[in-house]
Amino acid sequence: MDIPDDKSDMAISKSIINMGKTLNCQIVAEGVETESQLAFLKEEGCHMIQGCLFYKPLPLVELLIVLKNPVDL
């Protein structure tokens, strides 16, 4: 949550990402809310990223519209 301002959160996140890579897992970061969090997670090699930076929670009808019209990152 406090990435990149909290060094402990960054260290924990890096460790989790590296453990997942070692286990050949796809890494999904959730709860991404800022561009700086996105940059950190991309740099560390997360495979997928989700959070309010991209879309806030939506009602089903609105979600279906979004899914029919995906946005490239």
pTM as predicted: 0.75
Segment 26-71, tens digit of pLDDT: 999 999 999 999 999 999 999 999 999 988 888 999 989 988 887 6
Residue 34 has a pLDDT of: 94
Q: Is 42 within a domain?
A: yes
Q: Is 2 within a domain?
A: no
Residue 2: which of 33, 25, 29 has the closest Cα?
33
Report the half-sphere exposure of 6 (CA within 13 A, side-chain side): 7
Q: Is 73 within a domain?
A: no
Q: Is 51 within a domain?
A: yes
Q: Considering all CA atoms of the chain, what is the largest pairwise distance in Å, rounded to the nearest integer?
A: 40
Q: Are 31 and 51 in contact (CB under 8 A)?
A: yes
Q: Is 33 within a domain?
A: yes
Range of the domain at 42: 7-68
The number of domains in the chain is 1
Instruction: Take residue 40 and report the two structure tokens written for it.
Output: 């950190």
